Amino acid sequence: MGRFLLRRGANYVAMLFVAVSATYLLASVFMDPRSNYLSRNPRPPMDSINASLTAANINDEDPLLLRYWRWLTDIVLHWNWGLSPDQEPVASAVATRIGASTQLVTLATVLAIVIGVAIGVYTAIRQYKWQDRVLGGFATFFLVIPTAVLALFVVIAAIYINEALGFRLFYVTGLHSYEGDNPWLWLLDLAQHLILPTIVLTIIGAVSYHLTQRTYLLDTMKADYVRTARAKGLPLHLAIRKHALRTSLIPTAVNVAFSIATVFTGAVITETIFAINGLGRYFVTTIVNNDINGATCIAAFAGVCTLVGALLADLVVAWLDPRIRIS
């Protein structure tokens, strides 16, 4: 097992290096940070533009490979991911956003998986019964309405409740507003902020896990080995829980593991509506601002998430499926 992980790890580092370098080179070719300065009014003098660009190592007058080499050595030797066109260090900006995103996304992801898989299993066992049809209808509804609309409805409902109660139970923007030292009050404050975006993200995630898990379980429920289990004397619902569920969790586990990266960078709309400075919004900002170093840094983080996800997927599948463990 140790050797397997080590080999995988080495493979992944190599893959990550190639992917991040490619992102850097592509971003350097396509993004034009000079235009940020040229469009300012009044336009700064050419020399100062060049000086700023060179300071951030994004001057298009320097050869690309030279910039790449500087960028790479800075990261490898000093763990310095460079500066944005505004001369802000990219790494610390990304780090704070990772923190915000983690707070926003973690609970929602866990809830989405647990609720989604549970509903999926519940409806699969009751295929075509009213419970399945009703929950399926809800799922389709939430699947088709855009995230922004869903989020706005949640916000409106929260404001309505706040008004009805006469005090502010739900916060509709940001993550924090408490500024004291009491950790309990800080936590309560965070919860008041988090609850709305968490509801939105949970619904979106749970709906897709519900629908896929239902399909996976329906596939394995009809398997011969479930019939064998019933022939042994297990009642239907136990036979499904014991024999069909585990095999049907394998594809879901792979989905979950691989979705880690998108979970961090994909919550753009929710972050925007609830005014949370997360990674998703930052990613969009870096692209709009021609922030080569920033965009590459986020791509690198997303790459790490994907590979960690892949590794987790391998481990989970090996744990669930002895056929893989043994061979």
Partner 1 sequence: MNPVLSVRDLHVSFASEAGTVRAVRGVNFDLMPGRTLGIVGESGSGKSVTSLSVMGLLDENARVEGSIRLKGTELLGLSELELSKYRGNEMAMVFQDPLSALTPVFSIGDQLAEALDLHQDLNRKQVKERSIELLDLVGIPNPAERLRAYPHQFSGGMRQRVMIAIAIANDPDVIIADEPTTALDVTIQAQVLDVLKKAQRETGAAVVMITHDLGVVAGVADDVLVMYAGRPVEQAPVDELFARPAMPYTMGLLGAVPRPDRGENRRLVPIQGNPPSLVDLPVGCPFADRCPLVEDRCRTAEPDLLPVAGRPETLAACVRADELAEQGVTFEDAYEVAEAAESTLESVPRSEREVVLEVEGLKRHFPLTKGGFLRRRVGTVKAVDGVTFDVRAGETVALVGESGSGKTTTLLEIMKLEAPQGGRVAVLGKNLEELSTRERAGLRRDLQIVFQDPMSSLDPRMPVYDVLAEPLKVHGWSRPKVNARIDELMKLVGLNPDHVDRFPSQFSGGQRQRIAIARALAVNPRLIVLDEPVSALDVSIQAGVINLLEDLQAQLGVAFLFVAHDLSVIRHISSRVAVMYLGQVVESGDTEAVFTAPRHPYTQALLSAVPLPDPQLERGRKRVVLEGDLPSPVEEIPGCRFASRCPVRATLPADDQRRCDTVLPVLTGGDDQLAACHFPLTRTSAGLTDVRETTRA
Report the interface residues with partner 1, using CB under 8 A: 11, 223-225, 227-236, 242-243, 246-247, 320-323, 326
Structure token digits, residue 304: 């790490």
- The minimum distance between CB 238 and partner 1, in angstroms, equals 8
Residue 89: strand, helix, or coil: strand
Residue 82 φ/ψ region, left for φ over 0, alpha for ψ in the -120 to 50 degree band, beta for the rest: left
- Which residues lie below 8 Å from residue 193, measured CB to CB, with a gap of 6+? 171, 174, 175, 176, 177
Nearer to partner 1, 304 or 320 (CB): 320
Which of residues 214 and 243 has its CB atom nearest to partner 1 in the complex? 243
Where b means 16+ CB within 10 Å and e means fewer, 196-208 reads: bbbbbbbbbbbbb
Closest CA to 213 of 118, 128, 310, 137: 118
Determine the Cα angle at 258 with ends 278 and 204, to 5°: 60
Token pair of 273 as six digits = 């509506």
Element of type H or E holding 150: helix 147-165
Q: What are phi and psi of 82, to 5 degrees?
A: 95, -175
Please name which of 76, 80, 102 lies closest in space to residue 91, comparing C-alpha atoms. 80
CA pair distance 279, 276, nearest whole angstrom: 9
Question: Hey, what are 261's tokens?
Answer: 């990266």
Cis peptide before 235 (omega within 30 of 0): no
Decide whether 62 or 321 has the Cβ nearer to partner 1: 321
Q: Which is nearer to partner 1, 43 or 242 (CB)?
A: 242
Min dist. Cβ of residue 228 to partner 1 (A): 5
65 or 231, CB closer to partner 1? 231
C-beta closer to partner 1: residue 127 or 262: 127
Angle between helix 245-258 and 90-125 (nearest 10): 160
Question: Minimum Å distance from CB 251 to partner 1?
Answer: 13
Shortest separation between residue 9's beta carbon and partner 1, angstroms: 13
Q: How far is the CB of 248 from partner 1 (least distance, A)?
A: 11
In the complex, minimum distance from the CB of residue 118 to partner 1, in angstroms, rounded to a whole number:
20
The vertex-96 CA angle with 188 and 309, nearest 5°, equals: 95
The closest of 312, 322, 228 to 263, measured between CA atoms, is 312
> Considering beta carbons, is residue 5 or 156 the nearer one to partner 1?
5
Identity of the residue, 176 or 230, whose beta carbon is nearer to partner 1 in the bound complex: 230
Nearer to partner 1 by C-beta: 70 or 222? Answer: 222
Least gap, CB of 253 to partner 1 (angstroms): 12
As measured in angstroms, the least distance from the Cβ of 246 to partner 1 is: 5
Smallest distance, partner 1 to C-beta of residue 312, A:
17
